[in-house]
Amino acid sequence: MNTGYPTLNFGLGEEINMLRDAVYQMAQKEIAPRAADIDRENEFPADLWRKFGDMGLLGMTVDEAYGGSNMGYLAHAVAMEEISRASASVGLSYGAMSNLCLNQLNKNANEEQKQKYLPKLCTGEHIGALAMSEPNAGSDVVSMKLSARKEGDKYILNGTKMWITNGPDAHVYIIYAKTDPEAGSRGITAFIVERDYPGFSRSPKLDKLGMRGSNT
């Protein structure tokens, strides 16, 4: 019926539809058949990182200059939806790396940091995580206790983070710390920390009730 009025197209477009189909096919083949085992064994399948990287799924919001596919946030949301359809645990770890870690670096890191970290994260050779929550400060971010004190040209971080998705496996962490406790939310700074930095340690993986395939 032609009403004479313009209509809106609510479709996502051919490119996004092709992406959805490709990710769906991969997820149903590589993830869904072992989703129950992933949960039972409390273990994220490490081989998936490279598979995600090969498809360009890890750097979907990362500039191509650093190894990303730069497809944007809508494409990323569609990819995460199809991965999570096969396994919510895998989807959680995927999102924590691709969005919370890589997207943060692409948006806020300096040029030297982008060139150093993003290429290996985009391929899945390295794993990334974001560390915000603490034993006594989860969603209440301003109550975090981990502090950062400047000494010369370096910062010394002192404190503990907890419930960090991909924490047991990550090579690179974005860690939030208080640099000015009197400034409230404006006194918090993000730091890039590598897992082999002196003084940095990781606790054993948690045996969670749910989302067990997302290593925490």
The CATH number that applies at residue 42 is 1.10.540.10
Dihedral (Cα; 97, 54, 194, 189), 10-degree rounding: -40
- Domain membership of residue 24 (yes or no) is yes
Average pLDDT over the chain, rounded to whole? 95
Q: Where residue 10 falls among pLDDT bands split at 50, 70, 90? A: confident
**Rounded to a whole number, what is the distance in angstroms from the first to the last CA of the chain?**
54
Of the three residues 111, 138, 163, the one that is the final residue of a domain is 111
**134 and 59 belong to one structural domain:** no
**70 and 135 belong to one structural domain:** no
Question: Mean pLDDT throughout 176-196?
Answer: 96
pTM of the predicted protein model:
0.92
- Per the structure, the count of domains in the chain is 2
Q: Which domain holds residue 94?
A: 14-111
pLDDT at 16 over 60: yes
pLDDT at 24 over 70: yes
Question: Mean pLDDT throughout 178-196?
Answer: 95
Question: Mean pLDDT throughout 184-207?
Answer: 95
pLDDT in tens, 41-76: 999 999 999 999 999 999 999 999 999 999 999 999
Residue 161: partners with Cβ closer than 8 Å, 6 or more residues away: 131, 132, 133, 134, 146, 167, 175
Q: Where residue 190 falls among pLDDT bands split at 50, 70, 90? A: very high
Strands 147-151 and 154-158: antiparallel
Residue in the block written with tokens 């590589």:
30
Residue 138, pLDDT score: 80
pLDDT at 9 over 90: no
pLDDT at 108 over 60: yes
Of the three residues 78, 111, 144, the one that is the final residue of a domain is 111
Residue 2, pLDDT score: 62
> What sign for the dihedral angle of Cα 86, 215, 94, 55?
negative
Residue 3, pLDDT score: 64
Phi, then psi, of 214 in degrees rounded to 5:
-100, 105
Instruction: Tell me how far the alpha carbon of residue 118 is from its chain's centroid.
Output: 12
Residue 1, pLDDT score: 53
The CATH number that applies at residue 182 is 2.40.110.10
Residue 28, pLDDT score: 98
**67 and 136 belong to one structural domain:** no
Question: Mean pLDDT throughout 178-198?
Answer: 95
- Domain membership of residue 8 (yes or no) is no
Three-state DSSP at 177 gives strand
**21 and 93 belong to one structural domain:** yes
